[in-house]
Structure formats: C-alpha cells, structure tokens
Structure 1
Amino acid sequence: MDQVARLFGPAIFEASKLKVLFLGVDEKKHPGKLPRAYTLTHSDITSKLTLAISQTINNSQLQGWANRIYRDEVVAEWKKVKGDMSLHVHCHISGGHFLLDFCARLRYFIFCKELPVVLKAFVHGDGNLLRNYPELQESLVWVYFHSNVPEFNRVECWGPLVEAAAPSSGGDGWQQVFESNGELPQQCQDNCNCCFPLMSLIPWSPKQPHDGTQSQAATNLETME
C-alpha cells in the first residue's frame, strides 16, 4: 500500500489494477465443498494488486525483501462455522521488524482505511463465486489485526460483506466497524458436518481471550515464515 499517497485520499478500487490468479481451485465451486483462501499483495512500483485464489495461502507471493519488510499483504479464508459462512481476513500490523513497531498506529489506520478496497478486490476477483452464491454477500466479515502492541492486536466484526466492501459516505473505511452482539464464531468441538474447513488455511491462528470481550478480541501474533 502506498501509505503516504493514500493516507488522506479516498480508498477507491480500480478493477484495471487487479490481477487475479486461480491456483488449483475451481472458481465456480462453493467454498463449503473446497477450501478457498485469498492472498492479496500490492506493488508500490506499479500500484497494482495481485490476488491469488487457492486452497491455502500462496506463500510464494509473499517472498521477496519488500514483502518481508512492509508486510502489507492481506490474507483471508472462507469458513463455515456451525452452518454459517463467514470471511476471515488477516492483516499484519506490527511485530517482527522495529519499523513496523514504530508505526503500528499509522499502519492500523491505513489497513482499516484500505480494507473496503481489499474486500472489493475479493468480491471482484472471485466474482463467479459471489454470482453463483449471492447469499455469501450477507456473510459476516471478521478482521484480525495482528500486532505485538496490545491496542492493535484485536479482532473486529465489519458486518455483512456487501456492506463492508462498500466505501462509507465519508470515504473512511475505518468508520465501518460494526458492533457485534455475538462472540467470534467457534467451531464445534467434535467432528461435525456443519463446520468447514476443520483446520485454518492460514498460518496465523487467532485465539479468543478469556475476558468475555465480544466485539473486540485480542489475538496471538504468529509471524508467517
């Protein structure tokens, strides 16, 4: 993300700047029948986005010195929890590099501001899936912010995908966070047919706190190798 240029400007999705790669998945299949994950990266040189849609995170897309330093990738996965589909999105705020620690607050603001663009990229890139299963537009979006700073190490519910992917009237995506009346979805403890996939497709494994928080839940930061 071009952090300086976009800091005060509107977050606008441009389809012409999105490159979509389908890696080993059928773009027309329902995610309940096949694992489905998104890996989105941004090039500061070309200002273009690359979205890989696959059965797991596309680690090869995250290699290279620039990605390792800036950590501006966004990864996500569709999950069915107790019969309800939801989209789980992960962002690296800080940890692993002192520069990221220094600007954690700014990075949190920028990620929140750009998230509607990210979600719009998912919707556009996986358009056939959303057209074939329009009910997924009403699925809740859960955003996991990973940070070694407790204030920014949190989980937020951004509401239904159709609303979370739409820019707010003021152009500030960070204002779209929804207060959730329910807890972070938890899979069944025993083997069942209502949860899928059983294991996360993403190396980051967020855990709920034990303080009863509902709309905001702290997560454990696990650096992706």
Structure 2
Amino acid sequence: MGSDHHHLNLRLNSYNSKSIFQYRPTTRKQQLKHSSSSSSSSIVNVNINAGLFGHSVFEASKLKVLLLGVDEDKHPGNIPRTYTFTHSDLTSNLTLSISQTPNNSQVQGWYNKLQRDEVIAEWKKVKGKMSLHVHCHVSGGVDGHFLLNLCAPLRYFIFRKELPLVLKAFAHGDGNLLNKYPELKEAMVWVYFHSDIPDFNKVQCWGRLHQDDDPDLRRRGQVPYPCQEACACCFPPIHG
C-alpha cells in the first residue's frame, strides 16, 4: 500500500485558475459527524480480498493517446501538463489525453457521469522538485450521487488495484517527454482519493513514477506544498 498521511477534501477550481486543484483537510467535526452517523447508515463496509480480481496487465496496443494543444518538447515545469485517463468496460480500450487542462469532453455523457471512474493527474513543480499528482473521485463532491457513496469501499479498492496500470499508461503514453527529460521518471507520485467519507478521503505516496515494485515497498514521504508567496521554484504558481 502507499503510505496514508492525512485526510483531504478536494474542490475542483475553474480550469482557468493557476492550478487545477485546491486541497482542504477534513475537519475533526466532519470526522465526528461521519462517525456518529455511520451506525445508522445503509452503507455496508465491504472488505474484499485483494486477490479476488487478480492483477491488471497493461497492454500498450489498447491505449489511445490524444495530444491536445501540448508540445512534447516542453518541460511540465514551465508549461501546464495534465493527464485525463478513461477506459471502456465494453472494449477494455484505454484513452489518455495529454493537455494543459483536463479534457472535459472525455468525461461527458450520462454513463461517464454515473461511473466517475476517470483518473486525472497534473505535473507540479514544488520548491524546485517535480512531482505527479493523481486524483481519483471515490464519492461525494458536486457531481457525486448516492450510488457512489454506497459503493465507496469497493470503488476505493478498485482505484488502488488499477493504479499501477494507470501509471504505466501515463509513462507509456507520454514516453517521448520522459525520454527527453529522464529526471521526470524519478518524480514522486502522490495519489489523492477524494470522498466525503473520511475513511476514503486521503492522500498516499506511491513512490517514483518509474518504480515497478510492490506498493508495500514504496517509501513514506511528506506531501509537497507550494510556497505561499510568489516564487520561481513552484509551478503552477498559486499567485499572479
């Protein structure tokens, strides 16, 4: 497993803002509210053996890559770079959009809005170090619905199970960029699970992007936060 640090709430900003996401810690009051209501909730706490579904295997032939207004030669420490990843349950095909902001058209339609199984990631430079920040919507939020809450334990499990495949899709689909800037392969990956249920609202360190070992071996780290004042060592900037 990746190392759990603390619970986070995520709120999507307008995509015109300097950074795609803002983070807000879950308050003690929210945790107590959920704890007191959980006994009367109809949500069933699902405990699933990790071996039930087997291991996902990445097949490059099933990955479709869309370059949308980005240049493979531009370092993501200077130009915003975002990944939008989706898959088809019918064909098992994978789609990865590489753009400056999330590809909204990729997650439109009633089926995608019902599933909410997209994975969105953005490159960030924090205090001079590059890192990849990956976001998974477990439940809750503005676009959430009650079915997501009912399935939150299962959704959290599936996201964690499929993440190694997703990270391989990122590395393969943006391989030209990583080959030009090999230091990006050493970047740390931070995964944010977003939920209105505290048990599934957390951030985890998933090691380095090129890492192919068991997640249990990935080291702990400290969540990187950008400078709170205008600087040249963080990108995208939070001011300006």
Q: TM-score, normalised by structure 1?
A: 0.79
Match among 70, 84, 100 for residue 55 of structure 1: 100
State how far apart, in whole Å, the 2-side matches of 1:20 and 1:187 are. Answer: 30
1:59-78, aligned counterparts within 5 Å?
59-78=104-123
Q: Does structure 1 residue 141 correspond to structure 2 residue 141?
A: no
Residue pair 1:158, 1:177 contacting (<8 A) in 2 also: no
2:153 maps to 1:105: yes
Q: Which structure has more RCO (C-alpha within 8 Å, separation ≥ 6)?
A: 2
Q: Aligned pair 1:26/2:71, yes or no? A: yes
Question: Helix, strand or coil: the match of 1:86?
Answer: strand
Q: What residue in structure 2 maps to residue 180 of structure 1?
A: 220
Q: Which residue is 2:171 aligned to?
A: 123
Q: Answer with 1 or 2: which has the greater Rg.
A: 2
SS of equivalent residue, structure 2 residue 176: helix
Gaps of at least 5 residues in structure 1 are 1-5, 169-174, 201-225
Identity of aligned residues (%): 67
Whole-Å separation in 2 of the counterparts to 1:141 and 1:177: 14
TM superposition shift of 1:186: 1.1
Contact 2:228 2:238 in 1 (8 A): no
The change in CA–CA distance for 1:14 and 1:156 in structure 2 (over 3 A counts) is same
* Uncovered stretches (5+) of structure 2, i.e. residues with no partner: 1-50
* Contact persistence 1:57–1:75 (CA under 8 A): yes
- The AA in structure 1 aligned to 2:65 is V
Indicate conservation of the 8 Å contact 1:40/1:51, yes or no: yes
Give 1:77's aligned amino acid. Answer: E
2:230–2:238 Cα contact (<8 Å) kept: no
Q: Distance in 2 between matches of 1:83 and 1:186?
A: 11
Question: Secondary structure of 2:210's partner?
Answer: helix
**TM-score, normalised to structure 2's length?**
0.74
Match of 2:237 in 1: 198
- How far is 1:178 from its partner? 3.6
Alignment partner of 1:114: what SS? helix
Q: Distance in 2 between matches of 1:177 and 1:112?
A: 15
Q: CA RMSD in A?
A: 1.7
Give the superposition deviation at 1:181.
3.9
Indicate whether 1:155 and 2:203 are aligned.
yes
Amino acid at match of 1:188: C
Contact 1:116/1:167, CA 8 A, preserved across alignment: no
Tell me, yes or no, if structure 1 residue 189 matches structure 2 residue 228.
Answer: yes
2:184 counterpart letter in structure 1? L
- Write the deviation string for residues 87-132 of structure 1: whole angstroms up to 9, x where unpaired: 0000011121111111111111110011010000000000011101
CA distance in 1, matches of 2:100, 2:54: 34
Offset, 1:18: 0.4
Helix, strand or coil at the partner of 2:149: helix
Amino acid in structure 2 at the alignment position of 1:89: V
Q: Secondary structure of the residue that 2:106 maps to in structure 1?
A: helix
Distance in 2 separating the partners of 1:108 and 1:7: 15
What's the counterpart of residue 171 of structure 1?
none
AA in 2 matched with 1:26: D
2:131 aligns with one of 86, 92, 102: 86
Q: Secondary structure at the match of 1:162?
A: coil
Contact kept? 2:205, 2:221, Cα under 8 Å:
no
